[in-house]
Structure 1
């Protein structure tokens, strides 16, 4: 293991500063949350209020666009809601996931992989190596996931492309090193975009190996003829979403098995939006996570979609046609929620990041997770879901946060 200082960027002048970012962003500083939580509007400076308000308006436009795509995705499930057999099956699925949620047992809800994946690796394209300034490999392996709900096993097994797991691995030649794993958001699976957005070259040069993990139904895992990356997450009804989350957890644990096999002994996990939701859930299931940093996370997707016009109207129509029991739906939704399980990393190894202008994953979502996580470290910035104003601040915060236990 290389001898690296606890804060390699702060203490090693040869390392790049976080404000040397591939994508420049405005530098209007955020801060740590107080014991009360996120700041009230009157606590912000005039400049911060201006950034929050303007970025929130931009987010509303983006949210409406994504909600329109989701609405089109859910139309087949609306048509199926009028069929009595489909409605009965959906209620049976809801009862199944509600039962697992009520048990609150992560080992039962998310069984661990039982075999080491056979991983295939090849060099990434020259652009990826140019961005990282290092050794980059694209890896893939067959998923060993089996649907948690027995009634859906044949259906889930039929998703041929989805059942091949993909990731990109930035590895130092003298590795393995402590590894930062990154999970992208909904529809945002491109490696190049995430490498730049999360400023991963900076972490790589700070001493970390990096892994970018592709969620189910995204990128190369999207089924043939999918209209967009991530389509399959919401195209198969509520039960399909639950199984997609279960597979996201299972396949990431297989990826960790592989990293351990190659000698990695310390893994930190971060993710954005849906990736933040997934990272928080994984940290409640697998105790090998040394640190977890959900970034602009969603934690109650059902409540979030309630604000997403026109998707909220499509969901309401589907539930009305099917005669869905809202209490049963709420109970089943907790199956894949990190709020239903206790986090396994210690409190001082949990950090949540939120944007005050975020309207896709409103900051109140992050605050709910913060309370569930015993009011752990909590950093906010005055931007929205995709414009992370003062990003260098939270990059430095992440580096200080992870340094003490990720490096000797």
Structure 2
């Protein structure tokens, strides 16, 4: 494990963090959400970690109120409760499969992708082009009973991305997946210093998750509100849709000659990156940034949305392990990572209270103790970001070199 200076989490991990044993939804302690997130650090770094953690707690409560309010009408609807309980049974058999691609089936056709130059206020590369891409998604829900309901969300049926491409020979491409409610291209461009990665020689694709941005329904109270608010069965289909459309954009990159594709994502995008790494055989690298790994355990640590956990247990007549199992199909913890060890890296925030460090640590265990870099900030404020950006760049380039050596051999 590689660490940034002055932060040393490993002394508590091996003692306090339980060993990941499959099936993780049964063996992870029910109090996992309450495990401490403490680090050994000098006094200056300790102050920054504690200060940013307190800011995260306040901001998290606001987002939890929004997400909880969006989900409550469906959760209190008796007819919808019964439908969700019955429809969720459809997905449980897929957990018995050895290959997650049995459920997350690769697209069987190419997409007709349209492109237009980005607006003037977006990043404009001097030595390349920047386009907004979209296509009408051919995705069909795996559960036929949900097909009509899911596809009633018309705006969500169009996939969107932004693509920055250098002139000349095709370059390796960095695919970036945004977080929950944090879909604007301009925000992610600045937040994750994507123009800097472009100048390091990478093409960049910014992908929009379902029900976010232009995919949001007209009556949705905020971007992303429909992602988690439609029940467990619909959540499985939403992740299937996210992967399906992302794969079509990746197929486009391969058709254009991109020599390699790697992915990074933040928060919910980090979760999706971890899932993608369990599905794609030829990802050169996967770098989840402040990822979550268990949606139910995350909910249990967020007030006031944690007050809905007993309601979910009553609806599905189960305990915490059972709720985890309902969401396990799309968790990165459920499936082996297909990215080579040399291409796995995790970025974690020591003061993160949106996706607490224990989630990054659990993914680190699952990924065979891969490279793990900590920064002394929270989910929103990435202090010392320049250090981990340079570490990411060096890691990505080295992963590409090792990939080329393996392919040549």
TM-score bracket, shorter-length normalisation: 0.7 to 0.9
Provide the C-alpha distance between the structure 2 equivalents of 1:247 and 1:42, rounded to a whole number of angstroms. 38
Provide the C-alpha distance between the structure 2 equivalents of 1:183 and 1:266, rounded to a whole number of angstroms. 17
Provide the C-alpha distance between the structure 2 equivalents of 1:211 and 1:32, rounded to a whole number of angstroms. 33
Once the 2 structures are TM-superposed, how far is the Cα of residue 234 of structure 1 from its aligned partner? Answer: 1.4
Q: Verify the 8 A CA contact 1:305 1:311 in the aligned structure 2.
A: yes
- Structure 1: any 5+ residue segments left out of the alignment? 1-27
Provide the C-alpha distance between the structure 2 equivalents of 1:160 and 1:101, rounded to a whole number of angstroms. 30
Provide the C-alpha distance between the structure 1 equivalents of 2:14 and 2:216, rounded to a whole number of angstroms. 37
| 1:208 aligns with one of 186, 194, 202 | 202
Once the 2 structures are TM-superposed, how far is the Cα of residue 102 of structure 1 from its aligned partner? Answer: 2.9
Residues 239 and 42 (structure 1), Cα distance of their counterparts in 2 relative to 1, 3 Å cut: closer
Q: Verify the 8 A CA contact 2:349 2:378 in the aligned structure 1.
A: yes
Comparing 224-233 with 93-102, greater Cα deviation is found at 93-102
Once the 2 structures are TM-superposed, how far is the Cα of residue 394 of structure 1 from its aligned partner? Answer: 0.5
SS of the residue aligned with 2:109?
Answer: coil
Once the 2 structures are TM-superposed, how far is the Cα of residue 259 of structure 1 from its aligned partner? Answer: 0.8
Matches within 5 A, 1:212-231: 212-231=206-225
Matches within 5 A, 1:102-181: 102-130=96-124, 134-181=128-175
Once the 2 structures are TM-superposed, how far is the Cα of residue 268 of structure 1 from its aligned partner? Answer: 1.0
Once the 2 structures are TM-superposed, how far is the Cα of residue 348 of structure 1 from its aligned partner? Answer: 1.2
Q: Deviations over 1:69-98 (max 9, x none)?
A: 011111212221x34xx3332222232222
Once the 2 structures are TM-superposed, how far is the Cα of residue 281 of structure 1 from its aligned partner? Answer: 0.2
SS of the residue aligned with 1:245?
Answer: helix
Provide the C-alpha distance between the structure 1 equivalents of 2:360 and 2:374, rounded to a whole number of angstroms. 10
Comparing 303-312 with 95-104, greater Cα deviation is found at 95-104
Once the 2 structures are TM-superposed, how far is the Cα of residue 149 of structure 1 from its aligned partner? Answer: 1.7
Q: Deviations over 1:147-199 (max 9, x none)?
A: 12222112122221111000000111114211111000000000000000010
Residue 77 of structure 1 is matched in structure 2 by 74
Residue 46 of structure 1 is matched in structure 2 by 43
Once the 2 structures are TM-superposed, how far is the Cα of residue 318 of structure 1 from its aligned partner? Answer: 4.5
Q: Verify the 8 A CA contact 2:122 2:186 in the aligned structure 1.
A: yes
Matches within 5 A, 1:305-324: 305-320=299-314, 322=315, 324=317
Q: Relative contact order (alpha carbons < 8 A, sep ≥ 6): 1 or 2 greater? A: 1
SS of the residue aligned with 2:155?
Answer: coil
Once the 2 structures are TM-superposed, how far is the Cα of residue 314 of structure 1 from its aligned partner? Answer: 2.8
